Amino acid sequence: MTGLKNVKKFIPAVIVIIAALAAGSLYLAFAGNSDNSNTAVITLDGNVIREIDLLTAPDETFTVESERGSNVIRVENGTIRVTEASCPDKICVSHGELVSEQLPIVCLPNRLVIALK
């Protein structure tokens, strides 16, 4: 029985350690969203074609064209997204708004990338 009493003494400490590890993991996972990454960088074939400060940019829609195809990009209310694409799978369109440095918008067939800086 004394072994069981000793184990019971450590349960609160183990719970606190697990909670601290979980909180630390969540902080690290979402820390990229809390910085001031508000500049969207648009690259085509690895070359920067435009940088947009999403906090100050006016709402606009523009098209990026290359020999591979085209993407229509919408900047609105401090966000950026691809609204139309000539690629067959349209993954870049279904991505929605760019919200994280860790998950850029990518159109592989057209070699377009929109990422937060």
Over residues 28-75, the pLDDT tens digits come to 665 544 445 799 999 999 999 999 999 999 999 999 999 999 999 999
pLDDT at 51: 98
Q: Report the alpha-carbon distance of residue 4 to residue 46 in Å, rounded.
A: 62
Tell me: pLDDT of 27 over 70. Answer: no
Classified as helix, coil or strand, 65 is strand
Residues with Cβ within 8 Å of residue 86, at least 6 apart in sequence:
69, 70, 71, 110
pTM, 2 dp: 0.70
